[in-house]
Chain A
């Protein structure tokens, strides 16, 4: 899938970018370290009418808003007459993926655009991958909450918006509250009218008001040569050899983890390869075969076609071909998940956002 529209860089520029990103350490156009996120500003609770909402601005000017609305819905196929004989089997409660409906809106794109659809599928997949999320929406055997996530990019899509949308969704869900249930068992649900008493979808620690569990985040990681670069900007993505969307969740802390020092226990939820725009870029032409430099066969109609087959020439741009190498993939995932790594940092940063 194409991540953004056509990149407006010349082969020479692409070659230059690629070269600088391949250095050790890589030199990024904006001077960031390879695993440094772009600075962002975030706030929650911006839409009073929703159950939870958040807004994030990246420094490059992209901005997204997410609103979460919840509705009570009757569970299909639920048996109304069945008594609550095994009420203690609450752990067996199941969630279903259709309880979450997620829509993404990107300005300038139709909502059935393949890029948009792919984005929302990825976000939804990450959300449901841990299996625990839909279960949170269980009210009783006959009713559940249906969650509508409206994800809006409100700036033009200057860079591939996946990380932005994912982080905003993450924050919005953290801020989401559902009315407090007052009825018991499998009765028709009946809720407390006090909004202040509504519990958070992701329960929080009473003292620190830090979330005890958190929704997943999806990070965009790319590789150029042997270098692994997080949160690529638009230009960087244009020369990526491989781009991956890595969804990371926080695993529940078990006893074994206690005392193992700081850092979270992260869990890989899903990986998607993303077709970087670099594949569609036109290749550069080496001087050797450039007619302007008097090369032979310059009269040929399609020098590029032949060039693609030719040897790699240092300093001449050539679109990457073929899939990701397993070793690179493994390294990408490893980097994302490592303790104190990027995902950890991002989650730490999001922890700092005031969720009140």
Chain B
């Protein structure tokens, strides 16, 4: 009987075929044996310009052209490798120090092995993308070598060998092969092929095998400005040494194994959720899990167990006797861990004495209360499913710098205090302490071991001096993950070739005019903030013979210029939104489109997407239609100009009349909305006035509200609602809509209780209508601002509105709570929001203007888009606010003013004051009141804080107070912010 096994012996090509066998566990719990046949070849080139043999046999591309070789024929040399060298990094090298490879001062001629690339992709997608980016850049000369398919470099896994060891061996094999291969080229100077690794074992084995290998640190030292680069290497090398010193000292409990956690989560014993740190107390976190309606508390360092804000963690509920109330105390990391020394972890226990004391007070307070119901379930973190670490902006804690480190190049350990207060201090080893002190720096967290109180990280780069505009702006953008790099060439290639000379074609036979309505005869105008360049929307109205009005909202036709799925579309979908900072705008679309070709500038013809209604004088919709159009805006007004025009009775031109009609209709629309239960919410908004020359901030003003603003707003809302209905009708599964969930009642518990206790007011929250009505009754006749204050506080109890894909929610869930609309979307700002662009495409397909593109029809794709733009949108808002806060601080610099403020939050050791004039809020701690800190008595039932001793004051919630506002550099975050001093209570 002949064997039917593949008989490799008899096959002439047997050496070219190999197979890999491994076990794959799928997410659904299946376990499969996988057998892959590997077909090995010998024509994969080494891609070195020195090598002629490879050039002859290398495969060509589809056009029959040879693929250009990447690695330089004369690579740079170093002191150790005088003949020049090619680098072959292993996976760990990329994982730990990708920043190094992106440096322009070194790291050229790098061979990226396929196995390394694949491993990197499995470990970290962002790093993988960065590496792929590097391999595409021509000047860095990164070459991906498919070692797993080249006969000479393919290896089989040995018995008992772990995958990692096998891959390390594959790397060494490839390095060795490269060396031999290049030696055969008989070039005058044969470059050394150097393996870069931070893995000791790998380095040792390489040495035994006689392969040139180098640790990252040793290699970087050979480079010219190596000293600087050294800091970008994480300190894995010394890690073992430290551990050896104190083997028994472990601060944190060990994490559960992954399978144990997953079993627990499935069984309902453990819970999984995203860990959030309280902004006021770094030792308190909360986590929302699907199993409970309220979020769970995590108290204390030990229970938080190395989780960092944003991590996906698994928690275990603690026994009931450990349940506590959320803290009413402000605990700041800086204040408590001030005297820690980064070099030595001297505290023998995890929780320092001071931390313990702070928590002790909490417990005492909880225990003294007899009210059982107040204690909340507490949990502890038993494991981290996914770290959400990113790069953090921060600055070096001055006090952690030892004197000797100020000079010299000795490596020193310091603390970095991240700008985000929720992120713990990061231990950093650097040689450039002297240079980095007082700078904004970017760092990443590498690890948080059980034996280290703080996470360890490494330095990425410096953004510049603290408090310089450039550094602070960049810090802000980095912190909120705003994509601010210039648009790449591939994106710019998608722009119309004519550039700024592009015009609406004169001939109406041009394909651009296909199915477009000519609306150039209408008296259209736009109303926007002063200096607005990206004009998304314009309006018109005209009376109809039957006494009704025709109203049109015309939106820039961005989808005409941004075709689905090209590079520009991709970039826009990643950016998601334009980010407005006080002095800077980070565009979603290239300038040419945003401020010129799409922008509905006055006096020129532009493509638009128009929504046209026939409205009765009572603002009831008789009919509506949507059309692509060509318009010519008559004028671009600012809100102020438009307001003046409307109020000036002498102005009787058509344009002004039409604005007046719009104004009248908008009031009726607004009334209808309010009747339906729309909320009028509030957030403290201010505007920073800049000196026109230097754009230095000079003053802060609260934003004024003009009727023309609500005019534009009303019609935009109307357009959005109309479009939402239309696209939902056309695409019930895939319409991109926006919803605002009704907030859970418990969100308002605290505020309702506060109002009842302090003001005797009732807040009813059954529906948005009830809430709107009860908010209207929340007035203090003596204090007009009180109502706004309550609205601000109520706004913070709300959920965030979000984009979603209609197939993912049931129709009743579409509701926009704040606007009291059944259905809503964003349509009116396609220049600055990606969601609107998608809505444009869907509407165009719905009115059969163009075919449905797969990307606006694929639910999976749309869900991914929604997820991204929701995050981007939120970040853009936060970045905008942070920018204002920074400039408010700058504007107040060196000035001290007394202002009125209101107490919006009260703790047992401090209170938060909101100053409406500047739209800022700040914490006043008891210890700021007087020296020594006055003792205080806090009554949580009545929200009253009474101090005695060094200073006697009595403050309560919602109270109006007088404060002295000065600027101060916050030592914790390094931000210049306002500092408030309590002057008196009214």
Contact = CB atoms under 8 A, between A and B. Distances in A.
Contact of A57 (B1, B33, B160, B259): B1
A231 B263 CA distance: 51
Interface in B337-380: none
A194 interface: yes
Nearest to B268: A81
A188 B262 contact: yes
B19 interface: yes
B269 interface: yes
Interface residues of A, number: 33
24 contacts: A45-B5, A48-B21, A57-B1, A72-B31, A80-B263, A81-B268, A179-B31, A179-B33, A184-B257, A187-B259, A187-B262, A188-B29, A188-B266, A189-B31, A190-B258, A191-B31, A192-B23, A193-B23, A193-B24, A194-B160, A195-B22, A195-B33, A196-B157, A196-B159
Interface SS of A by simple majority: loop
B30 interface: yes
A195 B162 CA distance: 11
Interface in A183-223: 183-184, 186-198
Interface in B262-306: 262-263, 266-269
A194 B23 contact: yes
B23 A198 contact: yes
A43 interface: yes
B38 interface: no
Given A193-B23, A195-B22, 5 more contacts: A46-B5, A72-B30, A80-B266, A195-B21, A196-B157
Top 5 nearest A-B pairs by Cβ distance?
A: A41-B1, A190-B259, A183-B259, A57-B1, A195-B21
Nearest to B6: A48
B669 to A, nearest CB: 56
A189 B260 CA distance: 9
Given A71-B30, A187-B259, A188-B262, A194 B35 contact: no
Interface in A40-55: 41, 43, 45-46, 48-51, 55
Nearest to A45: B5
Contacts of B160: 194, 196-197
B3 interface: yes
Contacts of A51: 33
A187 B257 contact: yes
Residue of B163, B262, B267 ringed by the most chain A CB atoms within 10 A: B267
A3 to B, nearest CB: 25
Contact of A43 (B3, B29, B162): B3
B242 interface: no
Nearest to A49: B35
Nearest to B256: A187
Nearest to B29: A72
Contacts of B649: none
A194 B163 contact: yes
Nearest to A53: B5
Contacts of A80: 263, 266-267
Contacts of A192: 23
B525 to A, nearest CB: 65
Contacts of A46: 3-5
Contacts of A179: 23, 31, 33
Given A48-B35, A51-B33, A186-B263, A191 B5 contact: no
B157 to A, nearest CB: 7
A192 B157 CA distance: 14
Contacts of A191: 23, 25, 31
A49 B36 CA distance: 9
Given A55-B4, A193-B25, A194-B23, A188 B157 contact: no
Nearest to B37: A48
Contacts of B22: 193-195
B261 to A, nearest CB: 9
Given A80-B266, A190-B259, A196-B159, A49 B33 contact: yes
Interface string B235-272: 00000000000000000000001111011001111000
Contacts of B33: 49-51, 179, 195
Contacts of B162: 194
Nearest to A59: B1
A58 to B, nearest CB: 10
Nearest to A197: B160
Residue of A48, A51, A72 with highest tally of chain B CB at under 10 A: A48
Contact of B259 (A55, A188, A196): A188
Contacts of A72: 29-31
State which size class the interface on B falls in. 20 to 34
Interface of B is mostly: mixed
A48 B19 contact: yes
Interface in A230-259: none
Interface in B16-45: 19, 21-25, 29-31, 33, 35
Most chain A CB within 10 A, of B1, B5, B35, B257, is at B1
Contacts of A195: 21-23, 33
Interface in A141-197: 179, 182-184, 186-197
Contacts of B159: 196
Contact of A188 (B1, B5, B24, B263): B263
Q: Which of B30, B33, B257 has the most CB of A within 10 A?
A: B33
Contacts of A48: 19, 21, 35
Contacts of B161: 194
A189 B258 CA distance: 11
B570 to A, nearest CB: 35
Contacts of B30: 71-72
A179 B33 CA distance: 8
Nearest to B35: A48
Contacts of A186: 263
Nearest to B156: A196
A80 B267 CA distance: 6
Nearest to A79: B267
Interface centre among A55, A186, A190, A197 (most CB of B within 10 A): A190
Nearest to A55: B4
B527 to A, nearest CB: 60
Contacts of B267: 80-81
Interface in B744-777: none
Given A43-B3, A194-B23, A183 B31 contact: no
A336 B5 CA distance: 33
Interface in B137-187: 157, 159-163
A80 to B, nearest CB: 5
Contacts of A49: 33, 35
A42 to B, nearest CB: 9
Contacts of A55: 4
Contacts of B269: 81
A194 B31 contact: no
A45 B268 CA distance: 42
B354 to A, nearest CB: 38
B655 to A, nearest CB: 70
Given A81-B269, A196-B157, A190 B5 contact: no
Contacts of B29: 72, 188
Quick one: which of B31, B35, B163, B260 has the most chain A CB within 10 A? B31
Contacts of B258: 190
Contacts of A197: 160
A292 to B, nearest CB: 48
Nearest to A192: B23
Nearest to B261: A187
Chain A CB count within 10 A is highest, among B21, B25, B262, B269, for B25
Contacts of A188: 29, 259, 262-263, 266
Interface string A47-80: 0111100010100000100000011100000001
B45 to A, nearest CB: 32
Contacts of A43: 3, 5
A110 B87 CA distance: 64
Contacts of B266: 80, 188
Nearest to A44: B5
Contacts of B263: 80, 186-188
